[in-house]
Amino acid sequence: MTYKIFLTRLGNGLLVLLGVAIMNFTLVHMAPGDPAMIFAGEAGGGDETYVEQLRQDMGLDKPLVTQFAIYAGDLLRGDLGYSFRNQRDVASMIVERIPATLLLTMTAFGIALIIGIVFGMLGGWFRNTLLDRGLMIVTLVLYATPLFWLAMMFVLLFSVRLGWFPPFGMQSVLVPDAPLDRLLDIGRHLVLPAFSLGLFYAATYARLVRASVINVSNADFVKTARAKGVPGGRILRVHVLRNAILPVFSLASVHIGQLVGGAVLTETVFAWPGIGRLMFDAILQRDYPVILGVFLTTGLLVILVNIVTDLLYRIVDPRIEHTAGN
């Protein structure tokens, strides 16, 4: 049954990816600004002949429908296009940047889950206490704080003021030769951007888990466990927490796409060499192939994560499989 669900989700995902490709292509080409004019102006050759030649080289002189047909044909062959500004294939540029973005987003995601579940579990189990109120105040402040402001405050406090962590980049200028030292160096650079990106989502998970813990704690099976004399810690771990974190799976699949969007700001502030920074630079430069390639790659990642999350949800809660079968 699971493989049928997987194939269904995969087919739906491909249709969604097609819609994403069409929408992105249309919106990007509707945006103001002529890439050929911008490129020619930066190159110091703004005459009409040179600009027209650039349009022909970039394929911008053709009708929009023809441009999309060429673009779709290239996608079917696995070709994301060519960046005339960088003189490189878009696919190779994205492949170079994906590891850095995945490292940042997955680390931030892990931080968000751990802090959010712990805060929410404590707040829900000790509800209406001083601990609960303190944790909810902290999560409310984190949720209301703009991501870019929090990132800059982290730089000012922990890099400029205290000097605990490096402020920018993914590695030091003088990269250590030893693998362990190099790994530790990347880890030190990762701390600030990962926490600045993850704390916002941790606040969301904390409030969600708190509400879910309170709801599950009032369920009949939890009351029965208390009546049987089961220790409170075991009730929390075995009965409450397992059911309380189920909504996190649904929300997490949505947040993966938002994490990539938040990574644009985080990577810009911390000069982190990921696809978020690549997309930001491409938008400023009107580099259409790079913009479309990053958008499509991001959409593909979100679709794959949603499929995996859906399957994991069915493993964690087998009742969904039973309901789907009926």
Rounded distance between C-alpha atoms, residue 300 and residue 71, angstroms: 17
Mean pLDDT of 279-290: 82
How far is C-alpha 242 from the chain's CA centre?
25
Give the list of residues 6+ apart from residue 161 with CB closer than 8 angstroms, or none: none
3-state secondary structure (DSSP) of residue 44: coil
Rounded distance between C-alpha atoms, residue 143 and residue 89, angstroms: 39
Which H or E element spans position 180? helix 179-217
Identify whether the C-beta of residue 249 lies closer than 8 Å to the C-beta of residue 309.
Answer: yes
pLDDT digit string, tens, across residues 217-237: 777 777 777 777 777 777 777
Closest by alpha carbon to 154, among 103, 114, 191?
191
Structure tokens given for 143: 């949720």
The pTM of the full predicted model, rounded to 2 decimals, is: 0.77
Per-residue model confidence (pLDDT) at position 46: 60
- Write the DSSP symbol of residue 83: E
How confident is residue 326, by pLDDT bands cut at 50, 70 and 90?
very low
Rounded distance between C-alpha atoms, residue 242 and residue 249, angstroms: 12
For the chain, the domains span: 18-79, 91-325
Beta strand spans in the chain (E): 82-83, 88-89
Handedness of CA 287, 292, 295, 301 (dihedral sign): negative
Handedness of CA 26, 82, 303, 144 (dihedral sign): negative
3-state secondary structure (DSSP) of residue 149: helix
Identify whether the C-beta of residue 283 lies closer than 8 Å to the C-beta of residue 12.
Answer: no
User: What are the backbone dihedrals phi and psi of residue 119, each rounded to the nearest 5 degrees, phi first?
Assistant: -60, -45
Identify whether the C-beta of residue 107 lies closer than 8 Å to the C-beta of residue 195.
Answer: no
- Residue 82: beta bridge partners? 89
Ramachandran category for residue 146: left, alpha or beta (phi over 0 → left; psi -120 to 50 → alpha): beta
How confident is residue 304, by pLDDT bands cut at 50, 70 and 90?
confident
Per-residue model confidence (pLDDT) at position 323: 47
Rounded distance between C-alpha atoms, residue 221 and residue 210, angstroms: 19
Cα angle value 84/85/86 (rounded, 5°): 95
Per-residue model confidence (pLDDT) at position 214: 82
Mean pLDDT of 313-324: 56
Least confident among 1-5, 6-10, 239-243: 1-5
pLDDT digit string, tens, across residues 112-169: 888 888 888 888 878 888 888 888 888 888 888 888 888 888 888 888 888 888 888 8
Rounded distance between C-alpha atoms, residue 204 and residue 120, angstroms: 9
The yes or no reply on domain 91-325 and CATH 3.30.70.100 is: no
Structure tokens given for 200: 């916002």
How confident is residue 325, by pLDDT bands cut at 50, 70 and 90?
very low
pLDDT digit string, tens, across residues 238-251: 667 777 777 777 77
Rounded distance between C-alpha atoms, residue 66 and residue 69, angstroms: 5
